[in-house]
Structure 1
Amino acid sequence: MMTEFEMSDLGLLSYYLEIEVEQQKSRILLRQSAYAKKILSQFKMTDCNSTKHPMESKTRLHKDLEETQVDATEYRRIIGCLRYLLHTQPDLSYSVGMASRYMERPTIMHHKVVKQILRYLKGTIYFGLAYIKEPQEIGVFGYSDSDLAEDLDGRKSTSGMTFYFNESLVFRNSQKQKTVALLSCEAEFMATTTVTCHALWLRSLASELTGVEPKSFVNTGEQGADALTKALPGVKLAVMQQLLGVHDLEPCQD
């Protein structure tokens, strides 16, 4: 490109739009530790006590017109900051997504959930994604999952999906379904329909790049989209973090 354009070689990418990039011989690490610290400082949570869960298991949020309303502008600022953090911490997708649904009229209940997410962030500042150098052959793997009518206001379910090139996460999504499912199998069907559309596109892309056809079936214990549809207890959350490729990437101290 230098023969065609006037440009300078600044070396390997190390920082881009609040994302820290560490390029090693066999892997590339992505994290947003400086950005996470900035969020905690901005919302006066630097000295808070950390927690092991971004959202307590079985938490069910809903609209409450009688509960005391909190500062909506401040609430939206926190949500906006947290949503950008999802680029390198997909384990926050469900909890941040749930809190995002109540930005119009946030109450004390919703604010407590956001504060817990910030406390969880305090203990996972250096968490991020690791992309391992793989062999030439690339396999595409996808997971889908859903809850059933966990949205107490509209009774809609939540779909979650994740896609990997071999063991590296390349896409994730946690989103409320567009229509109400009457049965759990119907919610699962809608989630599978959505993930299939993405799978067809990724399969086409992977085939163009490598000519390798992806595998599809996985058992329940390896369901990598589970963390995108519900709040999980500690042990299950740790397993899901591993499946999502989320690691503690705190730099080693010299």
Structure 2
Amino acid sequence: MVTHVDVLASPVESSPPPFLPTTHTMVTRLRDGIRKPNPKYANLVFSQVSEIEPTSFREANKSDQWRQAMLTEVQALHHNHTWDLVPPSPHRHALPCKWVFRIKRRSDGSIERYKARLVANGFHQQYGIDYLETFSPVVKHVIVRIILSLVFSRQWPIRQLDVTNAFLHGYLSEEVYMRQPRGFEDPKFPHHVCRLRKSLYGLKQSPRAWFSHFSEFLIHSSFTASKADPSLFIFHKDYNFLFLLIYVDDIIVTGNALSQVNALLQSLNRQFAMKDLGDLHYFLGIEVQRTPDMLCLNQAKYSADLLKMATLHEANPCLTPVATGSQLSSLHGSPLSDPTEYRSLVGALQYLTITRPDISFAVNQVCQFMHQPTDIHWKAVKHILRYVLGTFHDGLVFRPGDSSMIAFSDADYAGNPDDCHSTGGYCIFFGSNLVSWSSKKQPTISRSSTESEYRQLALTAMELSWIQQLLQELHVSLPSPPLLWCDNTSSIALASNPIFHARTKHIAVNYHYVRELVLAGSLHVRYVSTHSQLANIFTKGLPLPRFAFLKSKLLHSSHISLQGDNRDGDKSAHNQALQYL
């Protein structure tokens, strides 16, 4: 018998299914025979699927828009002198290539342009023959949030750039051959092959070649690569500052002088085919809304596309991402016959945590079963998606503030039912803005709650030290040492009292890093009550009042304001920390 939940979670069909009588007493829209869309979700915008992306050259060649898109791509390749036509070599294999078609959309879902990309089939490359090193760094999302928080507090301009055919700018050091693109073979030399001079999309070394070429240009232009993250480039001369963040072919540029920013954009445009997209508004699937008082980040469009892909855009929303006290186990449930969809959705949910710390713990749980998920794990994923449906426009908010650093650290002792590992979490504020957080199972078993909390203190201290190193490179000085809040008095004593060393010989030496920072005076560890521990949301499933209270301290909702209990009776830990500093 089909249950009520299964009916709501099923894909929307062209004709409504016959009404299935139910025996439960709950009054629902389906029980009353109502199948019209709920008007309270009318403001949710989902991407339209009226335009379908072709999957083959033959299909795309029937459309004028896609033929023009392919022609534009080939013209750019020839203009860039990407290859030379040469006779085929009997000793070298020519890689196949294919066309990939994508519809580029704006943040509201409307079509921006049709994009055809010629992609080389890098699966046929052989290591040591036509490629060597492949790794290319991309900027960490933590750094993006720190930079946005910093420059918004200083009211600097933030510009967004896009590189046209970014990978085509990288020069190849290896000898690589490719077949001519279908539909654009040279009529004079139809059997010749392309010897690639520059990198092409699909080659294993293309990201590295592009990044090397771009970074060399920036360093030649007096930029320096950050030691904290090589994808961050810093220019400092006299009183002028410029920061440049690169994520493959998406670039953010900011600085304290608009004239310096414009001069940099002109210099980049002369060297590369750049598109100045104006003020930052949509970056890596993140929508950016800037007002004089705040900077809002959310992934509403990405959430809508994710729910549409999962066919849960008309399901009933949930109030929390995970049930209270939920502990998933690999021993519960029946294995899924095809885990492909599970892995795809969980991977997409991981990307959603860039602006949604409230789902970090729930996503961390389902990520631990990617190798062999069961139907119980699949229900947990759908529970998270239904929570996302009800919190569509939630996201981060940055407001102007000082340069203080405050962190919260917490651990759930032996919370994993399979291996008894603890789950640790932390959140770090730069001023009043949340910039870094984590929810992760600890790698080793702890023998006590004190040990698990102490390990998490050390991991949080390492993240704080890394952020401090970054701020030093940005020439930002902290008014006082970072303040780390913990709700376990024994771990606080362990972090500051070397006499406890005899009891902690079994703890790895690297976890005593926090003790060195405390004794050196570069980190303060203080006690905070469990009720005011913000990191509690990253370690376990919480009841709704508790979850809502903690979420209200981390996120901003454009629809509702979640309030917790005892707000007037007990100040939040964040306010305590700000008052202490």
Q: TM-score, normalised by structure 1?
A: 0.91
Q: Which residue of 2 aligns with 1:190?
A: 455
Moved more, 67-76 or 2-11: 2-11
What is the CA–CA distance in structure 1 between the aligned matches of 2:290 and 2:337, rounded to whole Å? Answer: 42
What is the CA–CA distance in structure 2 between the aligned matches of 1:107 and 1:96, rounded to whole Å? Answer: 15
Q: Which residue of 2 aligns with 1:105?
A: 372
Residue among 535, 548, 572 paired with 1:238: 548
Alpha carbons of 1:2 and 1:100: their partners in 2 closer, same or farther (altered >3 Å)? closer
What is the CA–CA distance in structure 2 between the aligned matches of 1:66 and 1:215, rounded to whole Å? Answer: 43
Q: Which residue of 2 aligns with 1:215?
A: 483
What is the CA–CA distance in structure 2 between the aligned matches of 1:79 and 1:2, rounded to whole Å? Answer: 38
Residue among 278, 297, 305 paired with 1:38: 305
Q: Which has the larger radius of gyration?
A: 2
What is the deviation of 1:4? 3.3
Q: Which residue of 2 aligns with 1:117?
A: 384
Q: Which residue of 2 aligns with 1:126?
A: 393
Q: Which residue of 2 aligns with 1:49?
A: 316
Q: Which residue of 1 aligns with 2:428?
A: 163
What is the CA–CA distance in structure 1 between the aligned matches of 2:377 and 2:337, rounded to whole Å? Answer: 9
Alpha carbons of 1:24 and 1:65: their partners in 2 closer, same or farther (altered >3 Å)? closer
What is the CA–CA distance in structure 1 between the aligned matches of 2:333 and 2:327, rounded to whole Å? Answer: 17
What is the deviation of 1:212? 1.6
CA contact (8 A) 2:307 2:313 kept: yes
Secondary structure at the residue paired with 1:77?
helix
Q: Which residue of 2 aligns with 1:78?
A: 345
Q: Which residue of 1 aligns with 2:536?
A: 226
What is the deviation of 1:78? 0.8
CA contact (8 A) 2:405 2:478 kept: no
What is the CA–CA distance in structure 2 between the aligned matches of 1:166 and 1:66, rounded to whole Å? Answer: 45
What is the deviation of 1:60? 1.1
Alpha carbons of 1:98 and 1:70: their partners in 2 closer, same or farther (altered >3 Å)? farther
Task: Give matches, 1:59-98, under 5 Å.
Answer: 59-64=326-331, 67-98=334-365
What is the CA–CA distance in structure 2 between the aligned matches of 1:41 and 1:61, rounded to whole Å? Answer: 26
CA contact (8 A) 2:405 2:428 kept: yes
Aligned-CA RMSD value: 1.8
Calculate percent identity across the aligned residue pairs: 31
Q: TM-score, normalised by structure 2?
A: 0.41
Q: Which residue of 2 aligns with 1:5?
A: 268
Secondary structure at the residue paired with 1:174?
strand
What is the CA–CA distance in structure 2 between the aligned matches of 1:57 and 1:2, rounded to whole Å? Answer: 51
1:140 counterpart = 2:140: no
* CA displacement 1:140-180 (0-9 Å, x = unmatched): 00111000111111111111011111111111111111110
* CA displacement 1:102-144 (0-9 Å, x = unmatched): 111111111111111011011001110000122xx31100111
Alpha carbons of 1:205 and 1:233: their partners in 2 closer, same or farther (altered >3 Å)? same
What is the CA–CA distance in structure 2 between the aligned matches of 1:190 and 1:139, rounded to whole Å? Answer: 24
Moved more, 4-13 or 14-23: 4-13
What is the deviation of 1:66? 6.7
Secondary structure at the residue paired with 2:303?
helix
What is the CA–CA distance in structure 1 between the aligned matches of 2:467 and 2:335, rounded to whole Å? Answer: 46
CA contact (8 A) 1:140 1:206 kept: no
Secondary structure at the residue paired with 2:379?
helix
Alpha carbons of 1:2 and 1:41: their partners in 2 closer, same or farther (altered >3 Å)? closer
Secondary structure at the residue paired with 1:11?
strand
Runs of 5+ unmatched residues, structure 2:
1-263, 485-525, 560-581
Letter in 1 for 2:477: T
What is the CA–CA distance in structure 1 between the aligned matches of 2:337 and 2:537, rounded to whole Å? Answer: 28
Secondary structure at the residue paired with 1:81?
helix
What is the deviation of 1:248? 1.1
Runs of 5+ unmatched residues, structure 1:
none
Instruction: Report 1 or 2 for greater relative contact order, CA contacts < 8 Å, sequence distance ≥ 6.
Output: 1
What is the CA–CA distance in structure 2 between the aligned matches of 1:45 and 1:99, rounded to whole Å? Answer: 18
* CA displacement 1:83-120 (0-9 Å, x = unmatched): 11001111000000001101111111111111110110
Q: Which residue of 2 aligns with 1:249?
A: 558
What is the CA–CA distance in structure 2 between the aligned matches of 1:8 and 1:56, rounded to whole Å? Answer: 46
What is the CA–CA distance in structure 1 between the aligned matches of 2:478 and 2:443, rounded to whole Å? Answer: 35
Q: Which residue of 1 aligns with 2:217?
A: none
What is the CA–CA distance in structure 2 between the aligned matches of 1:81 and 1:225, rounded to whole Å? Answer: 23
What is the CA–CA distance in structure 1 between the aligned matches of 2:439 and 2:558, rounded to whole Å? Answer: 24
Secondary structure at the residue paired with 2:483?
coil
Q: Which residue of 1 aligns with 2:446?
A: 181
Secondary structure at the residue paired with 1:173?
strand
Alpha carbons of 1:222 and 1:113: their partners in 2 closer, same or farther (altered >3 Å)? same
Secondary structure at the residue paired with 2:354?
coil
What is the deviation of 1:68? 4.2
Moved over 6 A (4+): none
Alpha carbons of 1:66 and 1:82: their partners in 2 closer, same or farther (altered >3 Å)? closer
Alpha carbons of 1:66 and 1:95: their partners in 2 closer, same or farther (altered >3 Å)? closer
Alpha carbons of 1:62 and 1:24: their partners in 2 closer, same or farther (altered >3 Å)? same
